[in-house]
């Protein structure tokens, strides 16, 4: 990830250098000739790409009036302002652009949101029209211009049919988002078909609309229909048992406490916030985190009482390795109910592990787990997985076993728990038990390539069932043809069967995919030696000795190989 980010920075530098140089030559801008300004501009944009919004704001703010000569400056500056929740400053800057005749899609959008939040629908409508009248540069902008214009003008619309006519202008490629908005329109106008529309939406077999079970349940709550609400939640949680928003709503309803996610379909600002969230999610899936955070910040401004927005915001920072910012948001999410508390605790624990604070991470999740009054099978499973993945094998077995005692073989977690416990048994030298669990896991889920790999490789290391292991690993390789660990296991099975030539072929591929893995490099070196390439073998053995992750036991084995080689 860091290498990709570094390459991305170089590309951005190069593109910006050419872009700004062309502007300088075209406009002879004294502003941009200044080396300090040039540096601030580059640093400001790169800081946005790195989600360093404070730095970006500082650099770009110093370039006052640069928008006169460089159109893109205003967009980057507004990204920084919005990300830092300086929406009033962003609105003032948008007005400045408007007065200069330099308004853009983003500036008009900010003005619209600012006035909508103040319930100044007349001004918001003016800016929605400005957005529509502008030639939009992309599909997302076209979607938003139509959607926002419709919802802002619903205040002056007297009936549902007129509202749906407005939404019909949404581009055809966004049919799924159009369907969502039409459902919300029924809710907004309190149509008698609202519940039917939600059922049609969430029952789609082509697109995952599971999130909208929450909005369906929320609508029923507003109608004091608790019985039907519970039915909706029960059904949807069977289909999506790990949904944060649905699980938290279920607990809020049971405990009759405040609802942690607040949404009112009769509030156009709330609906527009959801539209921004959809947009943000789509951009995040394309790794466009700067734009994703821009729209997400607008969502949070319009509806600050919706935890899903904070979840995506924190996830964006986490994926971009901005752990301090992610941690800060996760700390706030922890306070938003028991379901969110466990979710956020897991994420904070992951951050601590990324920062090499393993002991603190273990303690953090242990404390969070203890606070759960009645852990579900999913929470127990997740805790067991965490313990196993962090080499607390004996403790993980306890929790895996607890879950297995209350579920049957048809449960979605059954094969995963057997896999996890089987691995933990193997790591604690209880192979007889581990082998049984792994075999049972495969019986329940025969196409799990990773379980096949773990069982087969364990047999190979123990010198048993090697021919059977080879057949299993060939199948695993067909199921997951690009997995370095599976390819290594396949090559290692061939090596153990003394098919050194074919073994080298697979192990060479494995090394190319997992260049820093000590064991895979050692396997490859062994295959080189047995193919009479002793010089190359010694090179790879020496390479393994230099790797940070190489365990002491392997180092001692390699030192012997360097002295005496391998026996055929």
- 15-24, 89-98, 232-241, 415-424: least confidently modelled range: 15-24
The answer to whether residue 525 is domain-embedded is: yes
- Name the residue with tokens 């790797």: 547
pLDDT at 2 over 90: no
List all residues 6 or more positions away from 307 whose beta carbon is below 8 Å from its beta carbon: 244, 245, 248, 260, 261, 333, 336, 337, 340
What's the pLDDT score for residue 562?
Answer: 96
Quickly tell me which residue has 């749906």 as its tokens.
164
DSSP code per residue over 207-229:
S--TTHHHHHHHHHHHTT-HHHH
Alpha-carbon gap, residue 14 to 4, rounded angstroms: 15
In a domain, 285, yes or no: no
Whether 21 has a pLDDT exceeding 70, the answer reads: no
Does position 134 have pLDDT exceeding 80, yes or no? no
In this predicted structure, the answer to whether residue 436 has a pLDDT above a threshold of 50 is yes
Radius of gyration of the CA atoms of the chain, in A:
29
Cα separation values, 323 from 85, 263, 329, 353, 461, Å: 19, 29, 10, 11, 39
Tokens of 527: 């295959």
Specify the pLDDT at position 257: 72
pLDDT tens digits for range 506-550:
999 999 999 999 999 999 999 999 999 999 999 999 999 999 999
Backbone angles phi, psi at 14, to 5 degrees: -65, -45
324 pLDDT tier (thresholds 50, 70, 90): very high
Three-state DSSP state, 287: coil
Domain range for 490 is 469-568
What are the tens digits of pLDDT across the range 153-180?
998 888 899 999 999 999 889 999 999 9
Given pLDDT bands bounded at 50, 70 and 90, which one contains residue 36?
confident
DSSP string, 427-472: HTT-HHHHHHHHHHHHHH-TT-HHHHHHHHHHHHHHT-SHHHHHHH
Number of domains making up the chain: 2
Structure tokens given for 552? 């002491």
Domain presence at residue 150: no
Determine, yes or no, domain membership for 306: no
Q: Say how many Å lie between the first and final Cα of the chain, rounded.
A: 41
Residue 346's Cα: distance from chain center in Å?
A: 14
pLDDT at residue 555 is higher than 50: yes
Helix 358-371 and helix 377-389, axial crossing angle in degrees, nearest 10: 170
Residue 562 CA to residue 568 CA, distance in Å, equals 15
Task: Tell me if 17 is assigned to some domain.
Answer: yes
532: left (phi over 0), alpha (psi -120 to 50) or beta: left
Q: Say how far apart CA 37 and CA 413 lie, in whole Å.
A: 57
pLDDT band at residue 49 using 50, 70 and 90 as cut-offs: confident
Q: How confident is the model at residue 417 (pLDDT cuts 50, 70, 90)?
A: very high
Instruction: Tell me which of 78, 103, 128 is where a domain ends.
Output: 103
pLDDT at 443 over 90: yes
pLDDT of residue 62: 86
Are 410 and 238 within 8 A, CB to CB? no
How high is the pLDDT of residue 67?
84
Please name the residue ranges forming H helices in 158-267: 160-167, 175-188, 194-202, 212-222, 226-239, 244-255
**Average pLDDT for the chain:** 91
pLDDT grade, residue 9 (50/70/90)? Answer: very low
Domain final residue pick, 53, 80, 103: 103
pTM of the predicted model as reported, rounded to 2 decimal places: 0.85
Give the domain-ending residue among 88, 103, 118: 103
- Within a domain: 535: yes
CB 476 within 8 A of CB 452: yes
Say if 78 falls within a structural domain.
yes
DSSP 95-159: HHHHHTT---HHHHHHHHHHHHHTT-HHHHHHHHHHHHHSPPSSHHHHHHHHHHHHHHHGGG--S
Report the candidate in 244, 240, 419 with the shortest Cα–Cα distance to residue 314.
Answer: 244
In a domain, 163, yes or no: no
Q: What is the pLDDT of residues 355-372, one digit of tens each?
A: 999 999 999 999 999 999
> What CATH number does the domain containing 476 carry?
1.25.40.10
């Amino acid at each position: 990830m860091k290498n990709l980010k570094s390459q991305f920075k170089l590309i951005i530098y190069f593109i910006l250098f050419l872009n700004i140089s062309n502007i300088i030559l075209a406009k002879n801008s004294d502003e941009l000739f200044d080396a300090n300004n040039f540096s601030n501009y580059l640093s400001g944009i790169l800081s946005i790409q790195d989600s360093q919004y404070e730095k970006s704001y500082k650099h770009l703010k110093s370039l006052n009036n640069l928008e006169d000569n460089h159109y893109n400056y205003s967009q980057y500056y507004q990204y920084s302002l919005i990300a830092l929740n300086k929406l009033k400053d962003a609105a003032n800057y948008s007005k400045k652009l408007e007065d200069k005749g330099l308004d853009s899609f983003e500036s008009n959008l900010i003005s619209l949101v600012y006035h909508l939040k103040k319930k100044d629908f007349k001004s918001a409508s003016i800016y929605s029209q400005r957005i529509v009248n502008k030639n939009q540069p992309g599909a997302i902008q076209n979607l938003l211009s139509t959607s926002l214009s419709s919802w802002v003008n619903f205040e002056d619309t007297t009936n549902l049919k007129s509202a749906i006519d407005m939404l019909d202008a949404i581009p055809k490629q966004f049919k799924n988002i159009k369907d969502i908005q039409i459902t919300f329109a029924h809710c907004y106008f309190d149509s008698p078909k609202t519940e039917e529309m939600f059922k049609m939406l969430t029952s789609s077999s082509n697109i995952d609309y599971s999130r909208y079970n929450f909005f369906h349940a929320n609508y029923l709550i507003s109608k004091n229909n608790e019985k039907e609400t519970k039915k909706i939640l029960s059904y949807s949680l069977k289909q999506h048992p790990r949904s944060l928003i649905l699980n938290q709503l279920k607990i809020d309803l049971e405990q009759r406490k405040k609802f942690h996610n607040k949404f009112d379909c009769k509030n156009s600002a709330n609906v527009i916030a959801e539209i921004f969230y959809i947009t943000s999610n789509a951009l995040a899936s394309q790794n466009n985190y700067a734009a994703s955070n821009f729209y997400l910040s607008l969502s949070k401004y319009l509806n600050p009482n919706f935890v899903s927005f904070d979840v995506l915001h924190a996830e964006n920072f986490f994926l971009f390795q901005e752990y301090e910012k992610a941690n800060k948001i996760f700390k706030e999410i922890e306070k938003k109910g028991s379901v969110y508390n466990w979710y956020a605790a897991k994420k904070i624990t992951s951050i601590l592990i990324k920062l090499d604070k393993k002991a603190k991470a273990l303690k953090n999740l242990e404390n969070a787990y203890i606070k759960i009054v009645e852990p579900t099978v999913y929470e127990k499973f997740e805790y067991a997985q965490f313990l196993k993945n962090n080499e607390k094998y004996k403790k993980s077995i306890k929790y895996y076993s607890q879950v297995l005692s209350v579920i049957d073989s048809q449960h979605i977690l059954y094969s995963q728990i057997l896999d996890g416990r089987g691995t933990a048994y193997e790591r604690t030298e209880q192979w007889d038990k581990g082998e049984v669990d792994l075999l049972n896991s495969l019986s329940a889920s025969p196409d799990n390539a990773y379980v096949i790999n773990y069982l087969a490789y364990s047999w190979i290391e123990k010198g048993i069932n090697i021919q059977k292991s080879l057949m299993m690993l060939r199948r695993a390789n067909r199921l997951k043809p690009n997995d370095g660990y599976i390819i290594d296991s396949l090559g290692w099975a061939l090596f153990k069967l003394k098919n050194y030539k074919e073994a080298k072929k697979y192990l060479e591929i494995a090394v190319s995919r997992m260049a820093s893995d000590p064991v895979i490099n050692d396997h490859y070196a062994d295959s080189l030696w047995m193919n009479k390439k002793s010089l190359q073998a010694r090179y790879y053995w020496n390479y393994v000795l230099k790797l940070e992750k190489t365990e002491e036991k392997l180092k001692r084995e390699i030192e012997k190989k360097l002295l005496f080689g391998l026996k055929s």
